[in-house]
Amino acid sequence: MSDGVATRVAAARKLDEVLHRGRSLKAALGATLPSLADPRDRALVEAMVLAALRQRVRYNAALDGWTPRPLGQRDGLLRALLLAGLAQLELGLPAHAALAATVDAARALGRAHQAGMVNALLRRAQRDGLPAADPAQAWPDWLARQIHADWPEQADAIFAASAQVAPLWLRVNRRWIGRDDYRALLREAGLDAASDPALADALRLDAALPVQQLPGFDSGLVSVQDGAAQAVADALAPPPGARVLDACAAPGGKAAHLAERDASLRITALDVDARRVRRMHETFARLRLEGLDVRAADAAEPDAWWDGVPFDAILIDAPCSATGIVRRQPDVLLHRRESDIAALGETQSKLLDALWPLLAPGGTLVYATCSILRAENTAQVEAFLARTPGATLAPLNDRFGQDTGAGHQRLPGEGGMDGFFCARLKKA
């Protein structure tokens, strides 16, 4: 099997797992990408899968309208291959090679008798283009209704932005190199990056590329982190020498950003998942950051891990619906259930209540999510303030998004960034 055929087969299998077998995109790709030796093949598989998931409503509409008879339940893998085939046409791959590899992939998947149909459908897509579709149709009804209720004037823009390809945001490690100097390295590599005056360590590339192609990635000069997530370090802004808790830290980007900015910070980074803690260790090692206290622990159960010494600053990047990052994790729209929101809300409340006593008087707590649902964000903060004596909302400005009255919300695509919520609380 040639490499071109193998990548199409891999993309089809991963799409089938996500679309028809309930597997998460992260798990599906994580189990396959490391097995592909060439980083270009890994990038292609990931790009096809993401594009097919983002545009599945359009692609499925085309397939359902063009196939001589409807594809059945037993044709899930074939549909997944066709979605990958349509995705690669829109990704701008050379059409002849893409079509040939996809047709050969149908044979490799035991669908030789349908290879002619695959060829005909992809050639029609190449010739006629694909029909338009309302991006809101990709959202489950209950969630689309909630978006309309929470953001009636912005709902259409949210749906549209969530179906687009996200830019690649980079965080320059100021411990080892300045942003302008790293930008020069990018230029030498033929990459043009934009900066944002509100984000001191950020650069943005309009097109994604394998991290191995980023100058100095392996030696820790740079990381991939969305601009909205990078702004969290400015919201928390711990003073030099502060004792800092990152309570839900994996994969470690925000704790690393704080450590890159100030080596004097005494940072404790927790995550309840031991596997994700191992990833944090790897991240900190790549970035050449030492001295962080990294632990596998449940932040909501401090009696099991806290030493009794208060923290000057606490970050709760809480588990959430991930509705602000659908463009990066389009399987959210397939797997999220309405009942999840109440369960996540209970977890968020528990974290706030459990960790507030660990904050020193005069300290700062930042509550953040990658959600755009008011129930997880503004309503969560309002309820916490109402039941917590001594907790007050500290002002942020519009660089963190629009003021909701109890925090700041950035919606997907605003400033090229992900949807993200951030509230800064002070302890009297």
Catalytic residues, by residue number, are 370
Q: What is the DSSP secondary structure assignment for residue 369, as one 8-state letter?
A: E
CA nearest neighbour of 53 among 167, 138, 160, 156: 138
Q: Round to whole Å and give the CA distance between 285 and 259.
A: 12
Q: Round to whole Å and give the CA distance between 327 and 329.
A: 6
What's the one-letter identity of residue 181? Answer: D
In the structure encoding, which two tokens stand for residue 355, read together? 């960790």
Report the 10 Å Cβ neighbour count for 296. 16
CB 91 within 8 A of CB 27: no
Q: Which residues contact 66 (CB under 8 A, 6 or more apart)?
A: 121, 124
Helix (H, G, I), strand (E, B) or coil at 246: strand
Name the β-bridge partners of 202: 171
What's the one-letter identity of residue 150? Answer: D
Backbone angles phi, psi at 280, to 5 degrees: -60, -45
CA nearest neighbour of 225 among 351, 319, 317: 317
Peptide bond into 251 cis (omega under 30): yes
**Residue bearing tokens 């909701």:** 404
CA nearest neighbour of 172 among 233, 217, 138: 217
Helix (H, G, I), strand (E, B) or coil at 86: helix
Specify burial of residue 74 (Cβ count, 10 A radius: 0-12, 13-18, 19+): exposed
Q: Round to whole Å and give the CA distance between 370 and 229.
A: 9
**Residue bearing tokens 């008879």:** 69
What's the one-letter identity of residue 203? Answer: L
What's the one-letter identity of residue 138? Answer: A
Specify burial of residue 107 (Cβ count, 10 A radius: 0-12, 13-18, 19+): middle
In the structure encoding, which two tokens stand for residue 294, read together? 């990294």
Q: Round to whole Å and give the CA distance between 248 and 260.
A: 18
